[in-house]
Structure 1
Amino acid sequence: MTSDSLMHDSVNVTFGEKEEPMMMTGMHSVVDIFCVGCGSVVGWKYEAANERTQKYKEGKFILERFKVLGPDGSNYSVSQEAQVGGSDAHDA
């Protein structure tokens, strides 16, 4: 499991096509988000959630930390206190 955080906004990204994968917490409408610099998938944005208990995720972003690097090429490190919420991984 990764230590990804649910975020309210993201910058320097573009969006892919809407998909409706079955995730660990149910069916969601999501779009992949891509780095504008390198074009790599760095996470996803929740467009809609089918479960009422998951509606708080709508419009929020997940950035996969292991895919996001700092300006010097090293991985960013965020303390536990800075995490906003849990993550929801795509089922493989």
Structure 2
Amino acid sequence: MGRIFMITLEGRIYSCKHCFTHLALLDDIISKSFHCGHGKAYLFDKVVNITEGEKEERMMMTGLHTVVDIFCVGCGSIVGWKYV
């Protein structure tokens, strides 16, 4: 893997709770009505500074979906999932 260039966002942001790497703008929220095993989850239009895991079929509240977990590039913590 090559060198990682992190994007710095301006304005009100969401960041990784472990290393504070910028992930998304407040204005990029589409919905706050999602839930996961750890509580609330938000749906964003755009996120930055993430890497993706492997595709997998996962049973969600709305049925079976193909998703990938997403990880913070700053510290490697899982920060959510992405529908593919």
Q: TM (normalized to structure 1)?
A: 0.48
Deviation of 1:35 (Å): 0.3
Structure with more of its chain in helix, by fraction: 1
- Give the unaligned 5+ runs of structure 2: 1-34
Distance in 1, Cα, partners of 2:75 & 2:47: 16
| 1:10 pairs with one of 47, 60, 74 | 47
Q: Aligned residue for 2:56?
A: 19
Q: Does 1:30 align with 2:67?
A: yes
Backbone CA RMSD of aligned residues: 1.1
- % identical equivalent positions: 66
* Highest RCO, 1 vs 2 (Cα 8 Å, sep ≥ 6): 1
Distance in 2, Cα, partners of 1:21 & 1:4: 16
Kindly provide the CA deviation profile for residues 44-82 of structure 1, in whole angstroms up to 9, marking residues without a partner as x.
Answer: 0011xxxxxxxxxxxxxxxxxxxxxxxxxxxxxxxxxxx
Q: TM (normalized to structure 2)?
A: 0.52
Deviation of 1:30 (Å): 0.2
Distance in 2, Cα, partners of 1:4 & 1:21: 16
- Give the unaligned 5+ runs of structure 1: 48-92
Deviation of 1:32 (Å): 0.3
Name segments (4+ residues, structure 1) moved above 2 Å.
Answer: none
Distance in 1, Cα, partners of 2:42 & 2:71: 17
How many residues are aligned here?
47
Structure with more of its chain in strand, by fraction: 2
Q: Which amino acid aligns with 2:48?
A: V
